[in-house]
Amino acid sequence: MKPSISRRLARKVMLIFPPVTIARIYDKMCCLPMGIAYLGAVLRDRYEVRLLDAVVEGHHLERDIAPRIFQYGLSTDMIMDRIREFSPDVVGMSCLFSNQFPVVAELARKVKEWNPEVVTITGGAHPTFLPERCLREDALDYIVMGEAEESLPALLKALETGSGREAIDGLAWREADREVVHPKTAWIKDLDSLPFPARDLLPLEKYFEINIPFLFFSKSRRNISFITSRGCPCRCNFCSSTRYWGGRYRMRSAENVLAELEHIKREYGIEEVKFEDDNLTFDGKRAKAIFKGMIERGLDLSWNMPNGVMVKTLADRELVRLMKQSGCFEVILAFESGDQWVVDNIVNKPLDLEKARAIVKGVQEEGIDTHAFFIIGFPGEKLEQIKNTFAYARSLDLDKMYVFIFNPLPGTPLYQE
């Protein structure tokens, strides 16, 4: 049988998190890129792997993109210097945000100009939901859709053998004058089977140093991102996360989570954890087991949940007490709206705003700061409903509230509308 692709050496793999573009009103946050950290851990036993977070390496560097819009992190020319120095066979570029894709495309073009034989790959939310559009960029060879701990090694093997590409789930590429897209249908069943993220391949101390000006978000500069689950059982119309993770909610075991918490405490002197889960407390039994384990093992970690928490899960007062005792110092309540009609008919979130009042009060009584997420400007939302959101937020006596203007994200029902 004729090989489906030309055989390529894939001994050296470089995975890159590109610079970020934001408005001037936002803080230049810098979080460890968990996606490439997990992939680095999966690949390191078979390949020579290098991770490059352009944000942490060039956090002090800024470039104006438009009025009140700027980009921070290493420039593409600086990234190319790192690529030439390592001389990889494969360059993988994370594209978590849509506004990162122009940089990914530019970088792919520069890689091909330097060495056309280098295989260029991208993955993340934007290319996962818009693979055909992204493949219009000729310099990109492949798109790996959704989680890639299984599909990326399979692709690298296919490159080495010259065959097998057609059997890889969640892979897209260009063939002649058309785009070939294999939809993502298979998901990792046992998250405990994954190695811990390869944080040692990233400059951890630089993250801690950069965190110093942002201690109003934290208790310690030695804080780090951490994930205990993937996906969310909810189907909120504005959120792409559920669709990105296959519409499933998968959890690591409490024991596996605690083992990693002990590992990062011992190896890196971590003092605070940012649980980046979309719904950490949805399974109350597992959440309690994690928090009890943190207490019993004397981990002495502060923690919070930057992505928010499902409000109704905190009706369990025992759960909230364990959160406080295990080091939780704040919760961000994911309301999205303070108008019940908007919650039910536009957001599609399982939330009773009246019942939520008592839940918020209970969290406050346990001594945990209460913050909240709200979004305004949904399609079909009226001015009076926006006013209801602000009135509701004020009535909760929150410590802090975050208000965002609606932005349609690829992969969501509201984007399709």
Query: Are 276 and 362 found together in one domain?
Result: yes
pLDDT-derived band at 215, boundaries 50, 70, 90:
low
pLDDT-derived band at 5, boundaries 50, 70, 90:
low
Mean pLDDT, all residues of the chain:
94
Query: Are 148 and 260 found together in one domain?
Result: no
Query: Are 293 and 412 found together in one domain?
Result: yes
The residues with which 174 forms a beta bridge, in sequence order, are 179
**How far is 221 from 213, CA to CA, in rounded Å?**
9
Q: Which of 207, 194, 307, 310 is nearest to 252 (CA)?
A: 194
Query: Are 18 and 99 found together in one domain?
Result: yes
Whether residue 305 lies inside any domain: the answer is yes
Q: Where are the alpha helices (DSSP H) in 250-382?
A: 254-268, 284-296, 317-325, 340-342, 353-365
Task: Give me the number of domains the chain comprises.
Answer: 2
Q: What is the CA radius of gyration of the chain?
A: 22
Q: Cα dist. 362→272, 319, 332, 383 in Å?
A: 24, 11, 14, 31
Residue 84 sits in a domain whose CATH number is 3.40.50.280
Q: Which DSSP symbol is given to 182?
A: E
Whether residue 199 lies inside any domain: the answer is no
pLDDT mean over 122-146: 96
102-106, 140-144, 230-234, 376-380: the lowest-pLDDT one: 230-234
* pLDDT tens for each residue of 307-337: 999 999 999 999 999 999 999 999 999 999 9
Whether residue 329 lies inside any domain: the answer is yes
Query: Are 175 and 226 found together in one domain?
Result: no
Please enumerate, as own/partner, the contacts of 76-80 that have beta carbons within 8 Å and a separation of 24 or more.
76/103, 76/106, 76/107, 76/110, 77/110, 78/54, 79/16, 79/18, 79/52, 79/54, 79/107, 80/107, 80/110, 80/111, 80/114
Whose structure tokens read 């899960």?
313
Query: Are 158 and 251 found together in one domain?
Result: no
The H or E element that residue 369 is part of is strand 369-376
Predicted pLDDT at 372: 97
* pLDDT tens for each residue of 229-245: 999 988 899 999 888 89
Instruction: Answer whether residue 216 shows pLDDT above 70.
Output: no
Containing domain of residue 408, as a range? 218-416
Give Cβ neighbours of residue 271 (< 8 Å, ≥ 6 apart). Answer: 219, 220, 222, 223, 300, 301, 302
Angle subtended at Cα 333 by Cα 415 and Cα 210, rounded to the nearest 5 degrees: 85
Whether residue 195 lies inside any domain: the answer is no
Contact 103, 111 (CB under 8 A): no
Query: Which tokens go with 99?
Result: 């506004």
Query: Are 175 and 236 found together in one domain?
Result: no
**How far is 190 from 134, CA to CA, in rounded Å?**
30
**How far is 363 from 313, CA to CA, in rounded Å?**
11
**How far is 265 from 327, CA to CA, in rounded Å?**
14
pLDDT-derived band at 148, boundaries 50, 70, 90:
very high
Q: Phi and psi of 285, rounded to 5°?
A: -65, -45
pLDDT-derived band at 2, boundaries 50, 70, 90:
very low
**How far is 150 from 370, CA to CA, in rounded Å?**
38
Query: Are 177 and 270 found together in one domain?
Result: no
Residue 388 sits in a domain whose CATH number is 3.20.20.70
pTM: 0.94
Query: Are 90 and 229 found together in one domain?
Result: no
